[in-house]
């Protein structure tokens, strides 16, 4: 039975995106694929035409990154949704482990995987947490669709960066939690035109976040500025499972 939808946004990254899809297909968890593609990216559109297991939706040239994800979330038909990108590789088994946690902890709004900050192995793998509160930041993970619906999805006032900061703050304000999953994802962290466009949203996102949630303070329980915590190495058995996908970065 399919219980997970994976929502991916992609633009002008077809070689990387194809590896992401190959990796997700190899993962044992049954899943629905929902891909938000750019109207300007004809190569990806042509490739998607032959992918019968993918629901492909146009971003209609929308510049608001958050609204593109929300369109994918609303199209998802399953109880759990993974917020994904076109440059992430997941260790097979991670999704099953995350779903098990959500099944057993009804106060968990979401789960999060370890990732490699900055896209470099030298930094190890880590969760991001919210300063001294040690609440986990939802970087790459799985969200309950019921929570997205209850919260009216991600806040589209945030066009990109700080969307997740705001979503995490609302989760914590509601008395819910984000739980860690002891599995890793590899984030290539591509720095290209797509990434640079997204980075243009940092200033406005930070301003909106501070206006909504108050002054950034280490003592503020609403603090949602993430940092890395307890960097670890990826276990050798996990690395073996994804080595073939780690092109250009080994």
CATH number, domain containing residue 206: 3.90.550.10
Domain count, the chain: 1
Query: Comparing 131 with 41, which gets the higher pLDDT?
Result: 41
What pLDDT band is residue 244 in, cutting at 50, 70 and 90?
A: confident
Give the pLDDT of residue 18. 94
What pLDDT band is residue 128 in, cutting at 50, 70 and 90?
A: low
Q: Is 215 exposed, middle or buried (0-12, 13-18, 19+ CB in 10 A)?
A: exposed
Q: Report how far residue 46's alpha carbon sits from residue 77's, in angstroms, rounded to the nearest whole number.
A: 25
Q: Is 174 part of any domain?
A: yes
pLDDT, average across residues 92-108: 97
Give the pLDDT of residue 116. 78
Give the pLDDT of residue 218. 39
Q: Is the pLDDT of residue 150 over 50?
A: yes
Structure confidence by residue, pLDDT tens digits, 58-68: 988 778 889 99
What pLDDT band is residue 232 in, cutting at 50, 70 and 90?
A: confident
Give the pLDDT of residue 222. 46
Q: Mean pLDDT lowest for which of 101-105, 157-161, 188-192, 232-236?
A: 188-192
Q: Is the pLDDT of residue 180 over 50?
A: yes
Q: Is 186 part of any domain?
A: yes
Closest Cα partner for 184 from 71, 88, 106, 118? 88
Q: Is 12 part of any domain?
A: yes
- Token pair in block for residue 69: 């994800």
- Token pair in block for residue 64: 């608001």
Q: Mean pLDDT lowest for which of 94-103, 125-134, 234-243?
A: 125-134
Beta bridge partners of 129: 136, 227
Q: Is the pLDDT of residue 53 over 50?
A: yes
In contact, 208 and 154? CB cutoff 8 Å: no
Place of tokens 């806040």: 155
For the CA atoms of the chain, what is the radius of gyration? 17
Q: Is 189 part of any domain?
A: yes
Q: Is 250 part of any domain?
A: no
Q: Is the pLDDT of residue 191 over 80?
A: no
pTM over 0.85? The answer is: yes
- Within the chain, residue ranges assigned H as helices are 14-26, 42-48, 65-75, 94-104, 145-150, 163-173, 193-199, 202-213, 236-242
Q: Mean pLDDT lowest for which of 78-87, 144-153, 170-179, 232-241?
A: 232-241
Q: Is the pLDDT of residue 124 over 70?
A: no
In contact, 65 and 34? CB cutoff 8 Å: no
Q: Is the pLDDT of residue 129 over 90?
A: no
Residues spanned by the domain of 181:
4-245
What pLDDT band is residue 174 in, cutting at 50, 70 and 90?
A: very high
């Amino acid at each position: 039975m399919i219980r997970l939808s994976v929502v991916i946004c992609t633009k002008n990254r077809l070689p990387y995106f194809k590896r992401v899809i190959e990796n997700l297909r190899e993962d044992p968890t049954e899943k629905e694929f929902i891909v938000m593609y750019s109207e300007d990216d004809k190569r990806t559109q042509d490739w998607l035409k032959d992918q019968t297991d993918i629901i492909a939706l146009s971003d209609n040239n929308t510049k608001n990154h958050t609204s593109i994800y929300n369109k994918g979330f609303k199209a998802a038909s399953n109880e759990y949704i993974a917020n994904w990108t076109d440059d992430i590789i997941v260790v097979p088994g991670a999704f099953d482990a995350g779903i098990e946690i959500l099944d057993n902890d009804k106060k968990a709004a979401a789960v999060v995987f370890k990732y490699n900050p900055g896209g470099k192995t030298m930094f190890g793998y880590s969760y991001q947490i919210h300063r001294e509160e040690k609440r986990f930041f939802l970087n790459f993970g799985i969200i309950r669709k019921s929570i997205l619906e209850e919260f009216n999805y991600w806040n589209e006032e945030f066009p990109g960066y700080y969307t997740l900061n705001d979503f995490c703050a609302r989760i914590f304000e509601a008395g819910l939690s984000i739980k860690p999953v002891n599995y890793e994802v590899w984030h290539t962290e591509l720095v290209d035109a797509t990434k640079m466009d997204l980075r243009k949203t940092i200033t406005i996102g930070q301003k909106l976040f501070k206006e909504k949630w108050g002054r950034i303070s280490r003592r503020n329980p609403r603090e949602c500025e993430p940092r890395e915590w307890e960097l670890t190495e990826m276990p050798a058995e996990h690395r073996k499972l994804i080595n073939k996908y780690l092109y250009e970065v080994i």
